Amino acid sequence: MAAPTPNNPQPAPAGKSSPRYELLTLGDELLLGITPNAHLTWIGGQLSRRGVRLDRNVTITDEADAIARQFPESWARADVILTSGGLGPTCDDRTREVIAEALGLPLVFDEGIMGEIEARFARLNRPCTPNNRKQAFKFARGEVLPNPHGTAPGLWLEHEGKVLIMLPGPPNELQPMFLEHVLPRLARLGLLSDSETFVQLRTAGVGESMLETRFQPIFDRHPGLGIAFCAHQWQVDCRINSPDGRYPRQALQQIAEECATLLGDDFVGFGHDSLPKVTGDLLRTQGRTLAVAEACTGGLLAHSFTDLCGASKFFMGGIVSYSNDSKMLLLDCPECLLSQHGAVSAECAVAMATGVAERLSADYGLAITGYMGPTSQGDSGSGTLFVGLHSPLGDWSKKLSYPGPGQTVKQRAVTAAIDWLRREAVRETRRATSPLAN
């Protein structure tokens, strides 16, 4: 029922029966609604790239008796259990001890870990208090996963034909540890693929079922392919893999390229780059620059680009103009245009786009102006917006009408605007390489 669902899950690596993965996320802050459960989203995404679907995620408090109640059930169910949180130095960080007791396995003090922790404190010029000692315990027959970004190392244990992986809570410690130490170990054990199991095509502007219909003739010529569609943020990804291993990666890539060619400008890119990233990279390659002007999206459009690494190479700046006055003052929108057509109009969108491009000497100007839908959660309503685009090939505007609450409409308008810019940049590239096209 929720909008973005994949058609079917990615199958496990060829020739293996699918191992059951479970993630145990610990922390009151998750259950009290203070912190989103970002580890689920991140770890789930990483595993799915390697051909594994997380079987279950259980979130409980990090209190000792809650862990003691939950862990045995999880251990009985799963082949691989990942835990996050509760490895720190304070007395309420009891995960390590409670799980060791549940497994009936002793923890042993490890001089090597203690040395690392002391060295870290010395580097930071801070005293190492005695409670840090507990972070130097590991399973007697287990391994230690180094943590260059914090004191608590991760723990790895193979026991009873299962794998237990205990990770620290902070994302900037958990994520590099998972990529550098957990994924390679799991791949060596054959519990997930040692590289991405699929080739991913990102598309924009085509719905899931239309995409399937367009690709079907290609898939029909290659029996036995695994296909999954996944819609998110009004884009659809298509993942192509080979469940029984009959297509090597190179063949999958070739099929994906056939699909991309068929799609034309609806094809965004291979892999995991976001729409703003792909668009920004296109502009950088062309040596083109961009400036943006926005009303109702209030900074979201600018932030989509400034959030990219190296944005200053193509992004000249942005203007959030909330009033007619600021549209005149900062964007040179003529007063008569605003009074004749209003601020939510095709004319105003174009004037904003050309105005900001001129002010900031940018090649492209992208603008959004509009009415949002209602902002409260319950109301459905709809938003009416205009996108303006100034490009080396001309100036255009486009009307958008989206249903849904304000937050949704905003994000959707930003996606649509950026996709339009991308298409224009693609068209310009094509024109540069083949003067007769378009």
User: Which residues in the 369-408 window bind a copy of itself by CB under 8 A?
Assistant: 375, 377-380, 404-405, 408
Please list every residue from 141 through 200 that binds a copy of itself, using CB under 8 A. Answer: 148-149, 152, 168-172, 175-176
Ranges within 196-225 binding a copy of itself (CB under 8 A):
none
Q: Give 258 or 358: the residue with its C-beta nearer to a copy of itself.
A: 358
Q: How far is the CB of 413 from a copy of itself (least distance, A)?
A: 13
> Which of the residues 324 through 363 are near a copy of itself (CB under 8 A)?
325-326, 329-330, 359-361
The binding track of 259-298 with respect to a copy of itself, each residue x by CB under 8 A or -, is ---------------------------------x---xxx
Pick 206 or 426: Cβ nearer a copy of itself: 206
* 22 φ, ψ (degrees, to nearest 5): -130, 140
Cβ–Cβ < 8 Å for 238, 257: no
Of 293, 290, 282, 276, whose CA–CA distance to 427 is shortest? 282
Interatomic CA distance for residues 324 and 299, integer angstroms: 17
CA distance 67 to 290: 52
Q: How far is the CB of 232 from a copy of itself (least distance, A)?
A: 5
Site for a copy of itself in 103-142 (CB under 8 A): none
Measure the CA–CA gap between 79 and 178, rounded to whole angstroms.
Answer: 17
Q: How many residues bind a copy of itself (CB under 8 A)?
A: 97
- The answer to whether the CB of 163 falls within 8 A of the CB of 191 is yes
Minimum separation from the CB atom of position 202 to a copy of itself (A): 13
Which DSSP helix (H) or strand (E) runs through 102?
helix 95-103
DSSP 373-408: ---SSS---EEEEEEEEEETTEEEEEEEEEES-HHH
Q: How far is the CB of 68 from a copy of itself (least distance, A)?
A: 14
Closest CA to 357 of 305, 319, 306: 319
Whole-number minimum distance, CB 112 to a copy of itself, in Å? 21
Residue 18 contacts a copy of itself per CB under 8 A? no
| HSE-up (13 A, CA, CB side) for residue 257 | 6
Single residue of 55, 196, 332, 395 touching a copy of itself by CB under 8 A: 55
Q: Which is nearer to a copy of itself, 292 or 421 (CB)?
A: 292
Cβ atoms 186, 178 nearer than 8 A: no
Q: Which of 317, 382, 398, 429 binds a copy of itself (CB under 8 A)?
A: 317
Q: Which of 32, 76, 91, 336 binds a copy of itself (CB under 8 A)?
A: 32
User: Are 279 and 425 a contacting pair, CB within 8 Å?
Assistant: yes
Q: What are phi and psi for residue 84, nearest 5 degrees?
A: -130, 135
Q: Which of 254, 306, 384, 411 binds a copy of itself (CB under 8 A)?
A: 306
Judged by CB under 8 A, the stretch of 207-215, 216-224, 308-316, 421-429 that binds a copy of itself is: 308-316
Site string for a copy of itself, 65-104 (x = CB under 8 A): -----x--x-----------xxxx-x--x-----------
Among 53, 249, 284, 398, binds a copy of itself (CB under 8 A): 53
Q: Which of 131, 213, 322, 399 binds a copy of itself (CB under 8 A)?
A: 322
> Of residues 311, 366, 413, 421, which one binds a copy of itself by CB under 8 A?
311
Q: Is residue 323 near a copy of itself by the rule CB under 8 A? A: yes
Q: Which of these ranges, 108-116, 205-213, 322-330, 421-429, lies near a copy of itself under the rule CB under 8 A?
A: 322-330
How many residues in the chain? 438
Which stretch in 39-47, 196-204, 280-288, 383-391 sits in contact with a copy of itself by CB under 8 A? Answer: 39-47
Tokens representing 379 are 């109301």
Q: Determine how many CB atoms are found less than 10 A away from the CB of residue 286.
A: 16
Tokens 């174009």 belong to residue: 350
Determine how many CB atoms are found less than 10 A away from the CB of residue 34.
9
Q: Which residues have CB under 8 Å from 267's CB, separation 6+?
A: 201, 202, 203, 259, 260, 261
Q: Which of 182, 316, 387, 413 binds a copy of itself (CB under 8 A)?
A: 316
CA distance 366 to 390: 6
Contact residue for a copy of itself among 11, 13, 19, 27 (CB under 8 A): 27
Q: Select from 361, 360, 420 the least CA-distant residue to 389.
A: 420
